[in-house]
Amino acid sequence: ENLNLALNSASAIGCTVVNIGAQDLTEGKPHLVLGLLWQIIKVGLFADIEISRNEALIALLKEGEDLEELMKLSPEELLLQWVNYHLTNAGWPTISNFSHDIKDSRAYFHLLDQIAPK
């Protein structure tokens, strides 16, 4: 019963709980448990990435873009735009995703150097 409540709660906050049940959690199926856990963490981390909670994100407006367009972006899209804003300021090429484009960690290096210089 508690595991079903946990799955329902995860679904209510925006997690995808398709093909996972209480029995899967009881059995500790790693790929399902870790997948669900990652989704819960991601929802929590992305909760504060929105213009209404962080007005400093308005600086991310691109030339020709209006605030309404910026406010329609998902938290992940806003985070990507924030990273690219700093990469551009560092004179480094922008990224288009958080998978392939960051595999070599160069973008992270330049991002960290831009936001927290030595």
Give the model confidence (pLDDT) of 26-80 as tens digits: 999 999 999 999 999 999 998 888 888 888 888 888 888 888 888 889 999 999 9
What tokens appear for 51 in the block?
């213009």
Domain span including residue 33: 2-46
Residues 62 and 110 in one domain: yes
pLDDT of residue 29: 94
Residue 78 sits in a domain whose CATH number is 1.10.418.10
What is the number of structural domains in the chain?
Answer: 2
What is the pTM assigned to this prediction? Answer: 0.75
What tokens appear for 21 in the block?
């049940």
Which one-letter amino acid corresponds to residue 70?
L
Give the model confidence (pLDDT) of 105-114 as tens digits: 999 999 999 9
pLDDT of residue 91: 94
What is the b/e burial string over 6-42, where b = at least 16 CB atoms within 10 angstroms of the residue's CB?
ebeebeeeebebeebeeebbeeeeeebeebbeebbee
Residues 42 and 59 in one domain: no
pLDDT of residue 62: 84
Residues 59 and 22 in one domain: no
